[in-house]
Structure 1
């Protein structure tokens, strides 16, 4: 056994961890060892005997959990991290869909994907869906995939192109050739989806795209229930034509009718909730409070780093907060008081792990800590933080106390990719250089004034009510009379 840094192919054992197994019973194991050998979790128990040369990781005082899963992130936009912090969804659409999104070159998509992929594993997100709707050409798609394959995480390319109808790009020989070359037979480390939306176009031209998905045997992910953008019309088109199939992921799903929610539940669909996005951008109120009433399983996602982080800790926290706000709000409207919460901390940890593995069809592979499963594991431990102890309620600690800086060790497919709070085998300097080049290019394309204006949209006038309660003009005299 050794305490040195990780070596390629080296077995790893976590010692004396508090293990959130995320099995169906949400079992918590204390003082437990977890041994990783090859790609898989070999054994779980106490005082495990391990092979010579095994890397020992002291997990006492920490939480060992399955790797987190993000089912919807526009990774290509990470090059512009934080640029749209004050945007609305309308401003986002104008920027990416109508104007500047068309300026992104393949190397810019590569840069964003590369940084986002690194950011994922650094934050303990071991599986990330790249909802890549900026793939204007096959060259853009090649660049996006190159970046994903360069980083030692588990990824899914959700192929999309917002600048054409999905029935145009998905039916080309070039697209099919790309899929066959880059994804067919790649296994569970690099998955594939078709990513497109249904705004309710008359004649249902998206039918051709669904047929491509069916022929290739790949799932569909779609932004559904987005206020004034995608509505029940698109859901009805899918349902009436037999395309609401098990494994379809409905992103946001915030503003749909009861009938649409029933259809999603009945056909084996999944929701991807991006709570920070829904709270800020205006897709609709974060819908977990609705989805659970219809029995629709939930996964979590961060949407885009042009606004928010790639940190699923933030997603868990925001989701639990938003659900509870609505619970109180609805009760207060009926002059009632909530005395017991329905959604619990362990539920949103489930969303962040098993919710994602089930949605992606990977639940037999990852999503829980069990012998025989692929070893996608995250150790949350920070002995240098006053917030690292005590850990009394492990689920509550993850949701309300922990953050990405507390991620001590990350294992993906049995490989240590972060250890002792440092990334392993990742060239961050290369990513920084790629991002710097992209930002220099985009700034030059915009011009300085346009670049600044994009970050600082005009603030609308806000209504301020007249206040009938005013101080006397002679405040000093008033004070003296007290």
Structure 2
């Protein structure tokens, strides 16, 4: 199958951010075959990108997709409020069908706003039925996903080895798996060691929330002492870690996902992206949870610019949202429009009122002024999951009905 995205203003992200006016993108068998002007592909399906901006899809490196049914309920509280009202009062009521409804609509929300890859940190695992529901919904949405399988922090246990192996037997193609460990901030250390050992045995990456507490003031040093620092680990947040901890992360080759909107709203500490970059740590961006923040990457990019005190340019923020996110997840063939990469790309209408007049600096315009309504077309592996402004991968009305039923049950 061949597809030609013709005549757009193409923004690529690696190795540097570049802008190419009136440029075509040729896709063959789901991968990018050529990028240039006047490409000839007589037998290709054509997407006319005239008056459009074409760029790599966004990569969300940390999101609890299962919480979609609880949108907004954590907005007016801090982290303790989130644990009480979201995790305890509502999260413990979840059934497999609630996970299915939230994951499907949450993933569709991602693709609707141009997120083509999501790291789904699924810490709502009551049984393998929950994991099956989550993975099936991700697959139905058409998104690319790294499914993080792990326990609830309310339980405080290790990752269920049998459950993880079950998930591994069910995924393929666009969906891969990570060990979603509670980590040294939220679990006894013997469980942490068990999680890291399991990940190494199965050849899987680890994703974990990290912060400093009275009980574990230096969690990264504790991991180092146990010989557990490894490059294929994605730490999340890290707002209150001292510089010595950030240096250990940098030296290990691991990355950090920051979620500035949630971190600010839940009072998790000062913005950390600039400190991480200064320490040499790879930084990526996550939504985290729609219980407390917007669910789109445009909002997160704008938060980074607003809170970064000019530490980042617009081009650098765009890289955080694309190629840096891919690297953080260990995905080598997404995040940019390099030849041979997966054809995960988005098309924005540059003629929309909020973007009109912004082509003097299209990168800054997209990062500072864009929103999901500008996203006209989304391809994942060359397959349209949004086209002409409409999600096409599944029945949206049915998905919304199921979510409404779930929300009514969970909040009754």
Corresponding residue for residue 393 of structure 2: 425
Question: CA 1:407–1:309 in 2, change beyond 3 Å: closer, same or farther?
Answer: same
- Equivalent residue in structure 2 for 1:275, among 260, 268, 281: 260
Corresponding residue for residue 320 of structure 2: 351
Corresponding residue for residue 5 of structure 2: 14
Question: CA 1:180–1:157 in 2, change beyond 3 Å: closer, same or farther?
Answer: closer
Matches within 5 A, 1:175-214: 175-183=163-171, 186-187=172-173, 189-197=174-182, 198-199=184-185, 204-214=190-200
- Equivalent residue in structure 2 for 1:84, among 54, 74, 81: 74
Structure 2 unpaired stretches of 5+: none
What do you get for the CA RMSD once the two structures are aligned?
1.8
How far off is 1:12 after superposition? 2.3
Corresponding residue for residue 20 of structure 2: 29
With the length of structure 1 as denominator, give the TM-score of the two structures. 0.81
Which structure features the higher share of strand residues?
A: 2
- Equivalent residue in structure 2 for 1:100, among 70, 90, 93: 90
CA distance in 1, matches of 2:359, 2:123: 41
In structure 1, the residue corresponding to 2:73 is in which secondary structure?
A: coil
Count of matched residue positions in the alignment of Structure 1 and Structure 2 = 410
CA distance in 1, matches of 2:356, 2:47: 17
With the length of structure 2 as denominator, give the TM-score of the two structures. 0.95
How far off is 1:376 after superposition? 0.3
In structure 1, the residue corresponding to 2:274 is in which secondary structure?
A: helix
Corresponding residue for residue 434 of structure 1: 402
How far off is 1:31 after superposition? 1.4
Structure 1 unpaired stretches of 5+: 1-8, 325-340, 445-482
Question: CA 1:209–1:374 in 2, change beyond 3 Å: closer, same or farther?
Answer: same
Corresponding residue for residue 129 of structure 2: 139
Question: CA 1:231–1:381 in 2, change beyond 3 Å: closer, same or farther?
Answer: farther
In structure 2, the residue corresponding to 1:206 is in which secondary structure?
A: helix
Asked if the contact 1:200/1:234 (under 8 Å) is kept, the reply is no
Corresponding residue for residue 337 of structure 2: 369
How far off is 1:74 after superposition? 0.5
Asked if the contact 2:211/2:219 (under 8 Å) is kept, the reply is no
Question: CA 1:249–1:354 in 2, change beyond 3 Å: closer, same or farther?
Answer: same
Corresponding residue for residue 307 of structure 2: 322
Asked if the contact 2:358/2:365 (under 8 Å) is kept, the reply is no
CA distance in 2, matches of 1:443, 1:390: 43
How far off is 1:429 after superposition? 1.3
Matches within 5 A, 1:328-407: 341-363=310-332, 365-385=333-353, 387-407=355-375
Greater Rg over alpha carbons, structure: 1
